[in-house]
Amino acid sequence: MFRFSFDEVVDIILSFFVISIAFSLLYARVDISQAVHILPIVMVGAGCGFIFHELAHKFAALHYRYHAEFKKWIPGLILSLISPMIGFMFAAPGAVHIYGSYISDKINGIISIVGPITNIVLSLIFLISAYILTNPAGVNFSGNQILIQMCVLGFSVNAWLALFNLIPFAVLDGAKVFRWDPIIWFITAGTAGGLVYISMNSMNIIF
């Protein structure tokens, strides 16, 4: 049954706010006033990216009849807030923990890859939306610039969340995906890397 415990909801909300603040600090180059200014816009992309990423893991685990619950990771929350100070984003405030009997490498890999794939899909949606808004075919309105900023930041946040989680190291999704199928990992990580590269240039649109 798909349900959330009270502690899980609290952990998700806390992690969401930390990730949003951290990305705001990163994009504002640790300029507090600028970070506060873009925080509401960043929260849209970070909210979609982080929450849907974790929900994808949870749905996939439940599909295979495993109990799954998101839990915050205190060191990860701290690192998420500190890492923007050095121009990097450590995006691991917590993870979906899976409980049950033996999980094969294939099932574990599938459950792991759906999170980054969700971020890739979201990043593409934000990218296409940003392109449409910057080429409005004669349609223009006062809120256009804010929507463009929201879409560009949403694109960048989701591209980075996908690539970071695909790093084949320790408990990150990438390690489990690589163990299951290195070719699938390479294709997915390459796609995420390409999107991150594009996003690095797209920041010029709003900053």
What is the C-alpha to C-alpha distance for residues 101 and 113, in angstroms, rounded to an integer? 20
Residue 88 — very low, low, confident or very high, per pLDDT cuts 50/70/90? confident
Three-class SS of residue 43?
helix
Mean pLDDT of all residues belonging to the chain: 90
Helix H segments across the chain?
6-27, 32-63, 74-82, 105-134, 144-165, 173-180, 182-202
pLDDT in tens, 106-124: 999 999 999 999 999 999 9
Task: Look at 175 and 136; give whichever has higher pLDDT.
Answer: 175
**Would you list the domain boundaries of the chain?**
6-201
Phi, psi for 73 (deg, rounded to 5) = -130, 105
Amino acid 135: pLDDT: 73
pLDDT of residue 137: 59
pLDDT computed for residue 132 by the predictor: 87
What pLDDT is stored for residue 30 in this prediction?
83
Q: What is the pLDDT of residues 37-54, one digit of tens each?
A: 999 999 999 989 999 999
Find the Cα–Cα–Cα–Cα dihedral 83, 177, 189, 84, rounded to 10°. -10
